[in-house]
């Protein structure tokens, strides 16, 4: 029982961390994308 609970806790932590990491990457990609768009507009 305790071992099963430990696995569930680990799984929950990994799921939460994965969500945070993917959100972080989304923000980074969006910032890079808007930065590239600004550069292209300034060149034109």
pLDDT of residue 25: 92
pLDDT of residue 41: 84
Residue with the bigger pLDDT between 29 and 2: it is 29
Number of domains forming the structure of the chain: 1
DSSP state of 1: -
- CA 18-3-19 angle, to 5 degrees, is 10
Ranges of H-type helices in 1-44: 2-43
pLDDT of residue 30: 92
Longest dimension (CA), the chain: 65
Residue with the bigger pLDDT between 42 and 27: it is 27
Q: What is the domain extent for residue 24?
A: 1-43
pLDDT digit string, tens, across residues 3-38: 899 999 999 999 999 999 999 999 999 999 888 888
User: Is 44 strand, coil or helix?
Assistant: coil
pLDDT of residue 1: 60
């Amino acid at each position: 029982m305790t071992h099963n609970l430990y696995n569930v806790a680990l799984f929950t932590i990994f799921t939460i961390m994965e969500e945070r990491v993917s959100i972080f990457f989304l923000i980074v990609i969006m910032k890079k994308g808007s930065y590239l768009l600004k550069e292209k507009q300034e060149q034109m």
